[in-house]
Structure 1
Amino acid sequence: MSSILIKSAQIVNEGKITLADVFTNHGRIEMIAETIDHPADEVIDAKGLHLLPGLIDDQVHFREPGLTYKADIWHESRAAVAGGTTSFMEMPNTVPNTLTQKLLQDKYDIAAEKSLANYSFFMGAGNDNLSEVLKTNPRDVCGIKIFMGSSTGNMLVDNEETLENIFKEAPTLIAVHCEDEATIRQNLADFKQRYGDDGLTASMHPLIRSAEACYLSSSKAVALAKKHHTRLHILHISTERETHLFDNTVPLADKRITAEACIHHLWFSDADYGSKGNFIKWNPAVKTAADRDGILAAVLDGHIDVIATDHAPHTLEEKNQPYSQAPSGGPLVQHALQALLDLVKQGKLSLEQLVQKSAHNTATLFQVENRGFIREGYWADLVLVDLNKPYTVRKENILSKCGWSPFEGHTFTSSITHTLVSGNIAFRDGKIVEAGSGHRLLFNR
């Protein structure tokens, strides 16, 4: 690891923007000062640029093992660092599902060899693996994932006794996907009866996977967590109504129940199905503009704590199938920061709020050790952005293995110039730098 001196950066950190230099050495931030003249192996002139802590994405699907024809840790971690995301937490609906400690360790072994970004993996909960779930080590595993609604991989946990036991006995944070399966199945049956399989379209997705299905499941999870004093984190909130399930009067470090918003639910609405079709088909579904605006309001007022992506690639061939056959999910991790910077440019949130919700709060919520802030002694996970350099998403600059993006053709107002991962430059001036590898995240629990 070489020493790096970043000169004259506008540092966005902990609620303020300051002009300063940053010196990193042996992978960590060694000094932050108005002026630093310490010799370094490399000097980066950051005049006119903003320096942010690298984003921590608490929900991605990198598809390895078992689904590597559509994505893998090597490709997706490169897409992440190109987009300013320096750490990720990956989900267990790979093949085989991550339902044993051995299978969990297998994923860590793959990431240690292949990931350019820092990494952690969720332990999966099923209907019959409680003994394995309870072995999860809170120190070096981000959490336990429960699908309280089926999605890609069909890891639905629908046994009531199992749910009670997991919420009661889980040794660490539980993250949940909340959609009520019975409601969705009934909605789907009704739509099929009315329109037939061939008559279903992507615009029906938010009506089939409805707002009611989301609220029923989210409210159930919150009730279980309150009953058992569980540390609960609800993923990808997609409706305005759900935001009222959460408290914004308690400091984040003291919250027992937290929530996440995703880029697609902050950007798209049901009006976009006409042009985007299956390419914005996610679970939970992108819903109304009122839901989108309500989610953003909840992010800003503290009802929702973090922003993530739910990056979940599928191939073009899969997404081009008819609606009922096309899987849900899409690639987002490469363009998440640029999308948020566009929202900043539009006056919908500030740079300071962006950093709080995509780095600081994620680190605090998961108790990530020595990451998520620009502080002396912390790991040098950093991203430099040029707020005045437009960037157009084209097929040739997409790094996700699937080769497409819902943002293809869109010109973002900002560009990412450098990304540092654990003190190594991993991305510079549009190119990946294979200078090092990511580290396994640790947690202060």
Structure 2
Amino acid sequence: MGKLLITNANIVNEGKIEPKDVLISNGRFEKIANQISASEANEVIDAAGKHLFPGLIDDQVHFREPGLTHKAELFTESRAAVAGGVTSFMEMPNTVPNALTQELLEDKYQLAAKKSIANYSFFMGASNDNVEEVLKTDPKSVCGVKVFMGSSTGNMLVDNEDTLNNIFSKVPMLIATHCEDETTIRANTAKAKEQFGEDVPISMHPVIRSEEACYLSSSLAVELAKKHGSRLHVLHISTGKETNLFGNTLPLEQKKITSEACIHHLWFSDKDYEDKGAFIKWNPAVKTAQDRDEIMRAVLDGRIDVIATDHAPHTKEEKNNKYFQAPSGGPLVQHSLLALLDFYHQGKMTLPFIAQKAAHNPAILFSVKDRGYIREGYYADFTLVDLNGGFEVTESNILSKCGWSPFEGHTFKSRVDSTFVNGNKVYDNGKIIEGTLGERLSFKV
């Protein structure tokens, strides 16, 4: 492999924006300097006017393989990811079969090794009866353990008090939780059916999967983590009330309890159900504009540590059903960086802040080895962005297998020009560059 030189890039990294040259060899950043001679490289890319970001690390995606590949698959969704500047992803265990044994978990890694153009890791799944299997998980090669404290696909609802105490007291790894109280949701569902029968309007989704349901479950997770000294990461915070469960006084490296916000909870509100319908139906639900604004405040002040997507595609046909038949989730991984850059254009975030929340902090939070920064010796995962390039989301440029996006018709202010994974160009001006594959993430323990 020859050496690649990127010149004249505005590097967005570790709180700064600096014009630098970057030399890449053997898949890593060899040298970062004010000026590097072209004679040191086999290939030179002039990135004048472009901003070079570390590749985003998305800590929550559902790529649907195995078992649900009519919706999405590792091949298509990893390509959608790199088209959006996401170079590494962490995928959830509620595929079919659920990843509840070490063998089933390893099967997913073997699939990704043959198909994923982005770097990858997969969560081990917990259930009410597989704690001993969970404890076999290798923290050096698996990102964490996922606990659904709310309904999910298959046998993955963990609602047994003894099991939860067992998991939180024994699992030494990061425990990532989906927090919604199932009893509350069932009661709210019954009330909605009394009022509307089977024709419950989509606008009732945040009423059924309510603030109370989220807070009861999130506060229980935090209580269990404090009781047992666990390493807890609460996923997709959807209410303002929940943000007060988390602190911002410690450096991220010292936090034992952390949290995540997702793009849809920062972008949409319950007013959007009228126009978008089930295409913005997620669990937990998109809620009020006040919730959205409070989540943004918590992201900005450090109570919420990372931004991800919860990318979870379903087909248009599935989404076009009535409320109870339309599944929750949607594709976001191709447009998450562009959405964050729109927040920059709106004056809500700085460019270094975006790099921090979507690349640096996931690397810190999960102890990802040698990724998430533009640093000499680190893997060369990065994306070049034209801040004023503009990108209209149309059906023709959506790379997720489902073929739709909640952002369809929206024109983002910025554009992802190219993306590199382990020093290999994998996306360039609207086209995927085939020929290389991503690598399994490793973790510092």
Structure 1 residue 335 corresponds to structure 2 residue 335: yes
Q: RMSD in angstroms over aligned alpha carbons? A: 0.8
Question: Counterpart of 1:103 in structure 2: which amino acid?
Answer: L
Question: Counterpart of 1:339 in structure 2: which amino acid?
Answer: A
Structure 1 residue 326 corresponds to structure 2 residue 360: no
Question: Aligned residue for 1:54?
Answer: 55
1:269-288 equivalences under 5 Å are 269-288=269-288
Contact 1:152–1:327 (CA under 8 A) maintained in structure 2: no
Aligned length: 444
Question: Separation in 2 of the partners of 1:322 and 1:290?
Answer: 27
Structure 1 residue 422 corresponds to structure 2 residue 425: no
Secondary structure at the residue paired with 2:40? coil
1:343-354 equivalences under 5 Å are 343-354=343-354
Structure 1 residue 229 corresponds to structure 2 residue 248: no
Question: Aligned residue for 1:407?
Answer: 407
Contact 1:425–1:435 (CA under 8 A) maintained in structure 2: no
Q: CA deviation at 1:4?
A: 1.3
Cα deviations by residue, 1:170-220 (Å, 9 ceiling, x for unpaired): 03100000000000000000010011112x111110000001100000000
Structure 1 residue 181 corresponds to structure 2 residue 182: yes
Q: CA deviation at 1:153?
A: 4.4
Secondary structure at the residue paired with 1:342? helix
Contact 2:10–2:50 (CA under 8 A) maintained in structure 1: yes
Question: Aligned residue for 1:67?
Answer: 68
Q: CA deviation at 1:323?
A: 1.1
Question: Separation in 2 of the partners of 1:153 and 1:122?
Answer: 16
Question: Separation in 2 of the partners of 1:102 and 1:245?
Answer: 36
Question: Separation in 2 of the partners of 1:208 and 1:151?
Answer: 16
Question: Separation in 1 of the partners of 2:280 and 2:386?
Answer: 28
Question: Separation in 1 of the partners of 2:363 and 2:433?
Answer: 25
Question: Aligned residue for 1:252?
Answer: 252
Question: Separation in 2 of the partners of 1:264 and 1:44?
Answer: 34
Question: Aligned residue for 1:364?
Answer: 364
Cα deviations by residue, 1:375-414 (Å, 9 ceiling, x for unpaired): 0000000000000111101111000000000001110000
Question: Aligned residue for 1:431?
Answer: 431
Question: Aligned residue for 2:377?
Answer: 377
Secondary structure at the residue paired with 1:197? coil
Are residues 150 and 10 of structure 1, via their aligned partners in 2, closer, same or farther at CA, if it must alter by over 3 Å? Answer: same
Question: Separation in 2 of the partners of 1:171 and 1:257?
Answer: 13
Question: Separation in 2 of the partners of 1:358 and 1:210?
Answer: 27
Contact 1:424–1:435 (CA under 8 A) maintained in structure 2: no
Question: Counterpart of 1:160 in structure 2: which amino acid?
Answer: E
Question: Separation in 2 of the partners of 1:154 and 1:402?
Answer: 25
Question: Aligned residue for 2:117?
Answer: 116
Q: CA deviation at 1:435?
A: 2.9
Question: Separation in 2 of the partners of 1:41 and 1:392?
Answer: 35
Query: What is the identity percentage for the equivalent residue pairs of Structure 1 and Structure 2?
Result: 68
Q: CA deviation at 1:430?
A: 1.1
Question: Separation in 1 of the partners of 2:331 and 2:3?
Answer: 33
Secondary structure at the residue paired with 2:244? helix
Q: CA deviation at 1:152?
A: 4.2
| TM-score, normalised with respect to structure 1 | 0.99
Q: CA deviation at 1:429?
A: 1.2
Question: Separation in 2 of the partners of 1:11 and 1:263?
Answer: 24
Question: Separation in 1 of the partners of 2:233 and 2:110?
Answer: 26
Structure 1 residue 193 corresponds to structure 2 residue 194: yes
Q: CA deviation at 1:369?
A: 0.2
Contact 2:127–2:155 (CA under 8 A) maintained in structure 1: no
Contact 2:98–2:155 (CA under 8 A) maintained in structure 1: no
Contact 1:60–1:89 (CA under 8 A) maintained in structure 2: yes
Structure 1 residue 90 corresponds to structure 2 residue 91: yes
Are residues 201 and 152 of structure 1, via their aligned partners in 2, closer, same or farther at CA, if it must alter by over 3 Å? Answer: farther
Question: Aligned residue for 1:300?
Answer: 300
Contact 1:225–1:232 (CA under 8 A) maintained in structure 2: yes
Cα deviations by residue, 1:40-89 (Å, 9 ceiling, x for unpaired): 23211110000000000000000000000110000000000000000000
Contact 1:89–1:119 (CA under 8 A) maintained in structure 2: yes
Secondary structure at the residue paired with 2:284? coil
Question: Counterpart of 2:206 in structure 1: which amino acid?
Answer: P
Question: Aligned residue for 1:238?
Answer: 238
Question: Separation in 1 of the partners of 2:36 and 2:244?
Answer: 47
Question: Aligned residue for 1:45?
Answer: 46
Contact 1:119–1:438 (CA under 8 A) maintained in structure 2: yes
Contact 1:89–1:122 (CA under 8 A) maintained in structure 2: yes
Question: Separation in 2 of the partners of 1:383 and 1:247?
Answer: 31
Cα deviations by residue, 1:107-136 (Å, 9 ceiling, x for unpaired): 000000100000000000001001110000
Question: Counterpart of 1:148 in structure 2: which amino acid?
Answer: M
Question: Separation in 2 of the partners of 1:6 and 1:135?
Answer: 43
Question: Separation in 1 of the partners of 2:273 and 2:359?
Answer: 30
1:122-137 equivalences under 5 Å are 122-137=123-138
Question: Separation in 2 of the partners of 1:426 and 1:223?
Answer: 43
Secondary structure at the residue paired with 1:81? helix
Q: CA deviation at 1:154?
A: 5.7
Contact 1:54–1:359 (CA under 8 A) maintained in structure 2: yes
Cα deviations by residue, 1:297-344 (Å, 9 ceiling, x for unpaired): 100100000000000000000000111100000000000000000010
Q: CA deviation at 1:3?
A: 2.0
Q: CA deviation at 1:27?
A: 0.1
Question: Separation in 2 of the partners of 1:408 and 1:396?
Answer: 10
Q: CA deviation at 1:155?
A: 1.6
Question: Aligned residue for 2:159?
Answer: 158
Question: Counterpart of 2:144 in structure 1: which amino acid?
Answer: G
Contact 2:150–2:179 (CA under 8 A) maintained in structure 1: yes
Contact 1:136–1:171 (CA under 8 A) maintained in structure 2: no
Question: Aligned residue for 2:19?
Answer: 19
The unaligned stretches of length 5 or more in structure 2 are none
Are residues 375 and 81 of structure 1, via their aligned partners in 2, closer, same or farther at CA, if it must alter by over 3 Å? Answer: same
Q: Once structures 1 and 2 are overlaid, which stretch shifts more, 3-12 or 138-147?
A: 3-12
Question: Counterpart of 2:303 in structure 1: which amino acid?
Answer: H
